[in-house]
Structure 1
Amino acid sequence: MDSITRRRFLTASGVVAAGALAAGGTAYGLGDILGFRDDAAAGRILVLVTLYGGNDGLNTVIPYADPAYAANRPSMAYGPDQVLPLAEGFGLNPGLAGLHRLWGDDRLAIVRGVGYPRPDRSHFRSMDIWQTANPERPENTGWLGRWLDRAGGDPRLAVSFEPVLPPLLAGATSAGATVPGGALKLPRGVDDKVLAGFGAPAAGESAGRARAAACYADLIRVQDLVDEAVPDEEDEDGSEQPATATGGQAPPLDRQLALVTRCIEAGAATRVYSVSLGGFDFHADEKSAQEAILASLDKPLAAFAERMAGRKVVVAVYSEFGRRVRANASDGTDHGTASSVLLMGDGIPGGLYGEPPGLTDLDDGDLRHTVDFRDVYAMLLADVLDADAHSILGGWEGRLTFS
């Protein structure tokens, strides 16, 4: 026990990053968020769901009626009798039954062909582009971080339940809060007998370290809250998602959304929540594997949307890119370009939006985007967060409409 300090314990157990311990950073306990009240911050709430790894859009929102779809994916294609029908010759992946019910109630909007000029097929660069909203050059602030700068800079306005604060919540003068909500990992030398004191303040320590300790104490309470919010039968194994090329380990999506639900229903003034699901990089044997992971997205997401009905909450789901049109030799797909963005919630009319990219008019084997992703962001900033999208998005003039 003498060989481990509280600082080392907090860092090793994943409660907070070492940099946050040193400087106070953006690590907060759940109590900080639940108790956050700010009349000036009242408004609609944005819940952003990031799918790390590059979700295959063509086998998510499926153009089953286009002969080029089956021709390019002879063993991966879904037939008309396998999809969950939408309209215009499109259908949802069979793993998305909950979202299909929302579609039937005119509560799911699907924006097709979303991408950006001169796409990059690197996980890292493409996610950087999506999270900073700048396809032209590297950027050191996220699009929601820039919103936070203009909204007053309180980290609790933008909260992530991921293990590390995503770049999209980093501003120039402020950053969002990260509330760790995963399983507690104990380093060697620590057992139940020494845990109780880690959450207590220590004489002479900095305010940042005191907050980090409080985060650990709160993490124990977080686990209790999640256990209440997510019944055992809905949590398949309680394990964290595996690390992926663009996203590290994170609590299962149902647990992340359970925490978001808790905060919203408690009346927290937070305007933005960021959650994620990894594991979409299927280069081989994709069809059944993607259907399974889409089902793991569908169940908690549809349940969350149902629970938030009547509240001022909007959900947006995106991935860093889609996949190539033609299947590879391993019955998988390689990194591609344009894909679909899913939207649901308060004020979002259901339907298909955006021109579907052609499957024969390709750019070096990839789909040509028909909707710039900044159009989607501009709508979310202006209509959901009541913000000046033009200035936050570097003078971008476009905006998604639902007409």
Structure 2
Amino acid sequence: MPEFTRRQFLVGSSVLGALGVLGASAITWDELHRRAETTPLPPGSGVLVVLTLYGGNDGINTVIPYADNAYHDARPELAYRAEEVLHLDDRLGLNPAMKGLAQLWQQRRLAIVRGVGYPKPDHSHFRSMDIWQTASPDEPVPTGWIGRWLDVTGDDPVRAVSIGSVLPQLALGVKHTAAALDPASAPLPPEMSAALSGLAATDPADSAAQGCVCTGYQAEQTVEQTFSVLKGTKATPGGNPLSAQLDLVGRCIKAAVPTRVYSVSLGGFDTHADERHTQEQLLGRFDEAVSGFLRDMAGHPVVLLAYSEFGRRVHANASQGTDHGTAGPVFVAGAPVEGGFYGDEPSLTDLDDGDLKSTVDFRDIYHELLHRVVATDPDAVVGPGRRDLGVIA
């Protein structure tokens, strides 16, 4: 299918999601139970939750090198004092807003991969996020890493679900895409729902492109029928939007919906000014949502990956913020995780033009999650030459 036609379809899907089409169908608990009986998630199947922190989170003030004088010298007003930090060992600690993750660390259910990046880093939000979501640092490609996983693992439309009305790049494949499920969507009137359902009807006279669009709408209807009954929690004004997304994911997992990969997100991390207060608030939301979700998922083989498109520069700027950088920490958490530090801590003095030098390629993390969580040959998705880090027990 030509890329332009695919883009048109994806834009149409996101607009329909915003209009509430994702809430147009309904299903009873009995119908959902029948689906769970015919195609339930097999017991013991790993589930991966991919959490994107949009904006470039400052990893240095997230996993804090509180015992390093170079940290305090580079950020005399932005740095946290040793007594403010949630100590992980005698050198590093978590941001004080991350008390829930500190408990996961103590329970050995949190892995922190330090210094994660990619060769020849790019400071553009758009290009760097594209690299992380496509797993292709060398050249732009139209498919995401989860999309390629979808392409090689079958055609069930509920294998991967993105919570939100717009599909992220990571969810786009050549033959298949993840479904977008908007927890805030409202039902359409019955007459409009009936009219739109006609878009899924096939016609022998359809061109190949028209057939792809029909298949996409059919998949969206299947996903909606599977998930609509579970959408009992909506984001409320002033609430935690990430908690609402993860609550829906948790409901789906408990219902044995046959989804192996979920995508959720939290934005706002582009902290060029007055960073400390803003980042603490965002990390507090992140911590509340993730720690609560993983407590709720105790006993389930669920692994959550949290990443951002880049870290920040070592030195604070004149506005008490930080500018776009390179390497940063990645969190991997859940019951199957072997907690601890992975990767070498980047030096704060041996820099690349003011930026941290990465010590771990992010594709190695993807390699292990594909291999150990969703039981797929990673080479078809992230290419050859990658390795597991040992994060999954």
- TM-score range (shorter-chain normalised) is 0.7 to 0.9
Could you tell me which of 149, 153, 156 is aligned with 2:155?
153
Instruction: Give the Cα–Cα distance (whole angstroms) in 2 for the partners of residues 315 and 352 of structure 1.
Output: 16
1:265 counterpart residue number: 254
Higher mean C-alpha displacement, 135-144 vs 26-35: 26-35
Q: 1:111 to 1:56 in 2, by over 3 A?
A: same
SS in 1 for 2:341: strand
2:233 counterpart residue number: 226
1:67 counterpart residue number: 69
TM-score (norm 1): 0.81
Which string of whole-angstrom CA distances, capped at 9 and with x for unpartnered residues, describes residues 180-204 of structure 1? 22255xxxxxxx9x84543345796
Could you tell me which of 84, 90, 93 is aligned with 2:92?
90
Instruction: Give the Cα–Cα distance (whole angstroms) in 2 for the partners of residues 361 and 51 of structure 1.
Output: 27
Instruction: Give the Cα–Cα distance (whole angstroms) in 2 for the partners of residues 280 and 203 of structure 1.
Output: 38
Could you tell me which of 173, 184, 208 is aligned with 1:171?
173
Instruction: Give the Cα–Cα distance (whole angstroms) in 2 for the partners of residues 398 and 377 of structure 1.
Output: 9
Q: 1:29 to 1:303 in 2, by over 3 A?
A: farther
1:126 counterpart residue number: 128
> Conserved in 2, the CA contact under 8 Å of 1:54 and 1:280?
yes
Which string of whole-angstrom CA distances, capped at 9 and with x for unpartnered residues, describes residues 47-67 of structure 1? 010000000000000011111
Q: 1:254 to 1:39 in 2, by over 3 A?
A: closer
Instruction: Give the Cα–Cα distance (whole angstroms) in 2 for the partners of residues 351 and 315 of structure 1.
Output: 15
1:364 aligns with 2:358: no
> Structure 2: which amino acid aligns with 1:38?
T
Higher mean C-alpha displacement, 201-210 vs 339-348: 201-210
SS in 2 for 1:16: helix
**Structure 1: gaps spanning 5 or more residues:** 1-9, 185-191, 240-251
> Conserved in 2, the CA contact under 8 Å of 1:41 and 1:271?
no
Deviation at 1:39, TM superposition (A): 6.0
1:285 counterpart residue number: 274
SS in 2 for 1:110: strand
> Structure 1: which amino acid aligns with 2:352?
D
Which string of whole-angstrom CA distances, capped at 9 and with x for unpartnered residues, describes residues 279-326 of structure 1? 100100000110011101111110000011110111110000000000
Q: 1:155 to 1:29 in 2, by over 3 A?
A: farther
Which string of whole-angstrom CA distances, capped at 9 and with x for unpartnered residues, describes residues 334-386 of structure 1? 11000001011132111111100000000010000000001100010100011
1:198 aligns with 2:192: yes
Instruction: Give the Cα–Cα distance (whole angstroms) in 2 for the partners of residues 203 and 161 of structure 1.
Output: 21
Q: 1:59 to 1:364 in 2, by over 3 A?
A: same
Instruction: Give the Cα–Cα distance (whole angstroms) in 2 for the partners of residues 350 and 180 of structure 1.
Output: 32
2:141 counterpart residue number: 139
Question: Percent identity over the alignment?
Answer: 48
Could you tell me which of 370, 377, 388 is aligned with 1:388?
377
Q: 1:210 to 1:153 in 2, by over 3 A?
A: closer
1:254 counterpart residue number: 243
TM-score (norm 2): 0.83
Deviation at 1:179, TM superposition (A): 0.9
Deviation at 1:16, TM superposition (A): 2.5
2:319 counterpart residue number: 330
Deviation at 1:206, TM superposition (A): 4.5
Q: 1:126 to 1:13 in 2, by over 3 A?
A: closer
Instruction: Give the Cα–Cα distance (whole angstroms) in 1 for the partners of residues 128 and 65 of structure 2.
Output: 24
Higher mean C-alpha displacement, 99-108 vs 58-67: 99-108
> Structure 2: which amino acid aligns with 1:360?
T
Deviation at 1:15, TM superposition (A): 4.0
Instruction: Give the Cα–Cα distance (whole angstroms) in 2 for the partners of residues 136 and 392 of structure 1.
Output: 15
**Structure 2: gaps spanning 5 or more residues:** 1-10, 202-213
Deviation at 1:173, TM superposition (A): 1.3
> Conserved in 2, the CA contact under 8 Å of 1:15 and 1:219?
no
Instruction: Give the Cα–Cα distance (whole angstroms) in 2 for the partners of residues 360 and 296 of structure 1.
Output: 31
Deviation at 1:394, TM superposition (A): 1.9
1:16 aligns with 2:5: no
> Structure 1: which amino acid aligns with 2:255?
A
> Conserved in 2, the CA contact under 8 Å of 1:28 and 1:212?
no
SS in 2 for 1:325: coil
Deviation at 1:255, TM superposition (A): 1.1
Q: 1:307 to 1:355 in 2, by over 3 A?
A: same
